[in-house]
Amino acid sequence: MSTNTTHRETETERAENEQEHHCPECGGNLETDESQAETVCADCGLVVDEDAIDRGPEWRAFDAGEKDSKSRVGAPTTKMMHDDGLSTNIGWQNKDAYGNQLSASQREKMQRLRTWNERFRTRDHKERNLKQALGEIDRMASALGLPENVRETASVIYRQALDQDLLPGRSIEGIATASLHAAARMGNVPRSLDEMSAVSRVDQATFKRAYRYIVRELKLEVQPADPLEYLPRFASDLDLDDETERRARELLETAKRQNVHSGKSPVGLAAAAIYAAGVLTNNALTQSEVSAATDMSEVTIRNRYQELLQAAETGPTASAA
């Protein structure tokens, strides 16, 4: 009985396959017209299927060389690696494709291959310099929680500094830190000098000199830091409600219109605005909590707090009220 059932299922599948390859009107053979993306009956001309998905490339090639140059398969290139991500990496796990441990002779062979691979990847001192710097940029960006586009921009800035021979007499770590700081400000996700110094391998004075140097020599278009750019991150760290964050934003916008922010730390103004907004909205925020989240001293917060409230009292909103 089971044999008969299997036989009937096989005949049914065969009939369905024949229907798929034959015209439903006349029973003729179907042909696929790739230029029109249509399936047409060769006998009666009936269009059985249209708008078929073309899974091939959108380009044409007439020889093997042209095909290789136009093909885009493989991992995307990235400026965050010294070789643009085009080289091969040999994993450190001494296992084969099935997860089995390699023998002693195979492990020695793989170690030799890793050594030679590293030597070929960095052929001269310039590439070794770039590899070390890009590793530093990636490490610091990870510690600061910066997005990938900022890391890419920082890598491009460092490459420009290297190409223009701006590094002689300056440390790799200092220029790498300055490149990341500039990229973060250009990407509207700035980090304070103290935050940068906390993750950098150089002191703040060295990093600030390097930053001024590359901005001047590379003619980078870095806008002055805006305290409003620090506000969302600090508000998230302190878990503020929407009303308190909105009030802090209003305080900063009023202060900017009255030019209170000129010559003052944007981080300090953002911290003071959060504290002032907490006071005005009856949010139980203490100066010590704001100080810990923003890495600003309580004295600075108190001073900027008074200035923000004075600006709010004399601002157009207060006078209209």
Helix (H) or strand (E) run with residue 32 in it: strand 30-33
Hey, how many other C-beta atoms are within 10 angstroms of the C-beta on 46? 15
Instruction: Quote the distance between the C-alpha of residue 97 and its chain's center.
Output: 31
Q: How far apart (Å, rounded) are the C-alpha atoms in residues 177 and 171?
A: 10
Residue 313 tokens read as 């009292």
308 assigned ligand-binding residue? no
26 assigned ligand-binding residue? yes
41 assigned ligand-binding residue? yes
> Which amino acid appears at position 25 of this protein?
E
225 assigned ligand-binding residue? no
How many helices (H) does the chain have, and how many strands (E)?
Answer: 14, 3
Choose among 278, 264, 272: nearest CA to 299.
Answer: 272
- The sign of the dihedral angle between the CA atoms of 133, 136, 140, 142 is positive
Annotated binding site: 23, 26, 41, 44
Which residues contribute to the annotated binding site for Zn(2+)? Answer: 23, 26, 41, 44
